[in-house]
A and B are shown apart, each in its own frame.
Chain A
Amino acid sequence: MFALINDHFFQLSYFLQLVANGLLNGALYAGTALTVVLVFLTTGHINFAQGEMATMSVFIVFVLSQEAGVPLGLAVILTIILSAVVGAVIERTVVRPVELREGHGMLIISLGLYLLLNALIAIIWGTVPLTAPKLFPAGLDDQFVLVEGKPRFVITYGAIGTWVLLAVVVTTLTLVLNKTKLGLGYRAVASNRESASLHGVQVGRMLMFGWGAAAGTGVLVGMLVAQKNGSLDFNLMGPILIYGFAAAALGGFDSIKGAVVGGLIVGLVESLVPGLFTFIGGELSLGIALAVMIAILIVRPEGLFGRRQVTRA
Chain B
Amino acid sequence: MSAKVVKGSRTHRLIQVGAYGGCAVAVLLVAMTQPDFRMIQLTQAATLAMAMVGLNMLTGYTGLASLGHSAFVGVGAYTAAILIADHGWPLLATIPVSIVFGIVLGALLGLPAIRTHGMYLGLVTFAVAAVFPVIIKSEALSDRTGGANGKRVDVAWVKPDWFPFDVTDRAWRFLVAATGCAVACLVASNIIRSRVGRTLISIRDNPTAAAVSGMQLARWKTSVFAASAAFAAAGGALGSIAGTGVAPDSYGFLLAVQLLLGIVLGGIGTVSGAIIGGLAVVFLPYYTSEWASGKSFLFVDPADSGLMANVVYGLLLISCVYVAPGGAVSLLRSVRKRLFVVVPATPELRDAGRPATGAAQDLPPQPQVSTTVKETIP
| A contacts, CB < 8 Å to B | 44-46, 48, 94, 97-98, 103-109, 111-120, 122-127, 242, 245-246, 249, 253, 279, 281, 283-284, 286-287, 289-290, 293-294, 297-298, 301, 313
Residue of A nearest to B320 (CB): A108
Q: How far is the CB of A20 from chain B (nearest CB, A)?
A: 25
Residues of chain A with a CB closer than 8 A to B130's CB: 242, 286, 290
Of A113, A122, A124, A253, the contact of B314 (CB 8 Å cutoff): A113
Q: Closest approach, in angstroms, between the C-beta of B300 and any C-beta of chain A?
A: 4
Q: Do B321 and A108 have beta carbons less than 8 Å apart?
A: yes
Are A123 and B307 in touch, CB under 8 angstroms?
yes
Flag the segment in B44-52, B113-121, B367-375 that touches A. B113-121
Main secondary structure, interface of A, reads helix
Q: Which of B114, B128, B134, B315 sits near A112, CB closer than 8 Å?
A: B315
Which chain A residues lie closer than 8 Å to B298 at the CB level?
123
State whether A286 and B307 are in contact (beta carbons under 8 Å apart), knowing that A104-B268, A108-B260, A108-B321 are contacts in the complex.
Answer: no
Can you list 19 A-B pairs with a CB-CB distance of less than 8 A? A103-B268, A103-B325, A108-B264, A109-B317, A111-B67, A111-B257, A111-B260, A113-B314, A116-B311, A123-B300, A127-B304, A242-B127, A242-B130, A281-B138, A287-B134, A294-B127, A298-B115, A301-B116, A313-B209
Cross-chain contact A297 with B116 (CB below 8 angstroms)? yes
Once the chains are docked, how many angstroms separate the CA of A104 from the CA of B325? 10
- The contact of B300 among A116, A119, A124, A249, by CB within 8 Å, is A124
- Kindly state the separation between the CA atoms of A106 and B135 in the bound complex, as whole angstroms: 30
The majority secondary structure among interface residues of chain B is helix
In the bound assembly, the distance between CA atoms of A293 and B264 in angstroms comes to 27
Q: In chain B, residues 92-137, which have Cβ atoms closer than 8 Å to a Cβ of chain A?
A: 111-112, 114-116, 119-120, 122-124, 126-128, 130-131, 134-135, 137
Contact of B260 with A297 in the complex, beta carbons under 8 Å: no
Please give the distance in Å from B309's CB to the nearest CB on chain A.
Answer: 8
Most buried by B among A45, A97, A123, A126: A123
| Residues of chain B from 192 to 231 with CB closer than 8 A to chain A in the complex | 206-209
Check A122–B307 contact: CB distance below 8 A: yes
B65 CB-CB contact with A under 8 Å: yes
Which residue of the partner chain, among A103, A107, A117, A253, contacts B122 with CB atoms under 8 Å?
A107
Q: Is the CB of B115 within 8 A of A290?
A: no
Nearest A residue to B315 via CB reads: A116
Q: How far is the CB of B60 from chain A (nearest CB, A)?
A: 9
Q: Which of B119, B124, B307 contacts A107 (CB 8 A)?
A: B119
Residue among B120, B131, B207, B304 making CB contact with A286, cutoff 8 Å: B131
Bits for B136-147, please: 1 = Cβ < 8 Å to A, else 0: 011110000000
Q: How large is the interface on B (under 10, 10 to 19, 20 to 34, 35 or more residues)?
A: 35 or more
**Beta-carbon contact of B311 and A104 below 8 Å:** no
Cross-chain contact B138 with A126 (CB below 8 angstroms): no
Chain B residues with Cβ under 8 A from A253's Cβ?
Answer: 120
**Distance in Å: Cβ of B112 to nearest Cβ of chain A:** 5
With known contacts A105-B321, A245-B123, A119–B264 Cβ distance under 8 A: no
Q: Is the CB of B138 within 8 A of A284?
A: yes
- Tell whether B308 is near chain A: CB-to-CB under 8 Å: yes
Residues of chain A within 8 A (CB-CB) of B301 are: 126-127
B59 interfacial contact with A, CB 8 Å: yes
| Contact yes or no, B310 A118, CB < 8 A | yes
Interface: B78 (CB within 8 A): no
Is A298 a contact of B314 with CB atoms below 8 Å? no
User: Do B314 and A46 have beta carbons less than 8 Å apart?
Assistant: no
Set of chain A residues within 8 Å of B140, measured between Cβ atoms: 279, 281
Chain A residues near B335: list those with CB within 8 A.
Answer: none
Known: A97-B322, A104-B65, A298-B111. Is A284-B134 also a contact (CB below 8 A)? yes
Q: When the two chains form their complex, are residues A297 and B115 in contact, meaning their CB atoms are under 8 A apart?
A: yes
